[in-house]
Structure 1
Amino acid sequence: MVNPAARLRTLSEAPMPSLLGHAVAGLAITTAFQGDKLPRRTWALAALCAMAPDLDWFVSLLDMHRGHVLNHRGVAHSLFAALLIAATVFLLAYRRDQRRGSVWLCLTIAALSHGLLDALTSGGVGVALFMPFSETRWACVWQPGQVAPLPLGRVHTWRFLYSLWTELFWIGFPALLLAAWSRLLRRARLAPTLSEAVPESPF
């Protein structure tokens, strides 16, 4: 019989960026598509797609070995699952007239970002990116992200806060740069239109 408290302490070490980090990545990706005038709900839904694979954390409450296909960083973190998540949200959350290619692409990239960010996070087993076609676990050689444990107790709380700091640096700052760059590109595309709207001076 597994002790639930001991199991929860073990799961508090789950190797992943926090949900906040994944959500920020989803929002940053959405900014790159704002020139296409996506429906407003896309902001929230892209963040949801970016966070959704971590639902497999609850499966980890069951008594399974770390490398089990259903366990954390297993099939739910695969590229195939990301495509399914994006397709499901795309079909269920948008009206037919809102289902444009740019919307689908935004949601798909947001969902795909989850496994790739986890592969950049230190600690734990790798990410099963190509399940169900391959059980190989993948991890990047360079892993700047830090494990984000549940803040249970003083030690885990400090480690959680430190992981948030690393996410601010490695996810937050690039997200801001992407948002700023996307805004500059949109303004650059609008500039000729604005200049044509101003009548020429007769002098």
Structure 2
Amino acid sequence: MPSIFTHAAIPLALWCASERGRISPRLLGAGVIAAMLPDADVLAFALHIPYADAFGHRGASHSLLFSTVLALLAAVLARPLRATRVQATAFVFACALSHPLLDAFTSGGLGVALWWPWSDSRLFAPWRPIRVSPFANNFFSARGLQTVLSELRWVWLPLFLCVLGWKAMQHRAPVEIQHP
């Protein structure tokens, strides 16, 4: 998995790329929580649930179904999030789904159960450049530093460049069409 901090990168990038005020601070907070929440499944280790179990790490909480449930919850909470139902649903769904997709690009683990409950298969992306993050007790180590550098290169820098490119396209002067 990427570090918990990097899972917040997608909602933050979407917020930065949007017009000011379009995504409320409350909706941004909900998106950050939705992007990080799937890793609450590490509690399964304390409950002696095996990693490969459907409710183990990178299992059900990393599924399309889980992302959909969070999005539907956001739709119900749209007013307190200061968003329309469509905006809350779409933003939270994208943020929640970003978590298993980022995890699929990591170099370790068992893959993500993206299609649970329809399939127990664990999936990886065909290309896995992001170093898998060590768990909390080993995060502040040489391996943790390698993970952070990998995340900066493969997640934060590309997102930063995408946001800059999007902002540059938005602020370009409109081209005037001259008719003969």
Fold conserved between structures, TM > 0.5: yes
Cα distance in 2, alignment partners of residues 145 and 96 from structure 1: 32
SS at match of 2:77: helix
Match of 1:99 in 2: 84
Match of 2:127 in 1: 142
Query: Closer, same or farther in 2 for the Cα pair 1:96/1:169, shift >3 Å?
Result: closer
SS at match of 1:147: coil
Aligned equivalent of 1:40, options 25, 37, 54: 25
Q: Give the C-alpha shift of residue 93 in structure 1.
A: 5.6
Q: Give the C-alpha shift of residue 100 in structure 1.
A: 4.4
Conserved in 2, the CA contact under 8 Å of 1:23 and 1:50? yes
Aligned equivalent of 2:69, options 84, 96, 101: 84
Greater shift after overlay, 78-87 or 91-100? Answer: 91-100
The unaligned stretches of length 5 or more in structure 2 are none
Percent of paired sites with the same residue: 33
Q: Does 2:145 align with 1:170?
A: no
Cα distance in 1, alignment partners of residues 17 and 88 from structure 2: 11
RMSD of Structure 2 on Structure 1 (CA): 2.4
The unaligned stretches of length 5 or more in structure 1 are 1-15, 196-203
Conserved in 2, the CA contact under 8 Å of 1:120 and 1:140? yes
Q: Give the C-alpha shift of residue 98 in structure 1.
A: 2.6
How many residue pairs were aligned?
175
Q: Does 2:9 align with 1:24?
A: yes
Cα distance in 1, alignment partners of residues 162 and 28 from structure 2: 15
Cα distance in 2, alignment partners of residues 166 and 33 from structure 1: 26
SS at match of 2:8: helix
Q: Give the C-alpha shift of residue 95 in structure 1.
A: 3.7
TM-score normalised to the size of structure 2?
0.85
TM-score normalised to the size of structure 1?
0.77
Cα distance in 2, alignment partners of residues 96 and 43 from structure 1: 9
Greater shift after overlay, 23-32 or 73-82? Answer: 23-32
Conserved in 2, the CA contact under 8 Å of 1:151 and 1:157? no
1:18-40 superposed Cα distances (whole Å, 9 cap, x missing partner): 01110112211333443782223
1:60-102 superposed Cα distances (whole Å, 9 cap, x missing partner): 2221222101100000000110111122134226349732423
Of the two, which has the highest radius of gyration? 1
Greater share of helix residues, 1 or 2?
Answer: 1
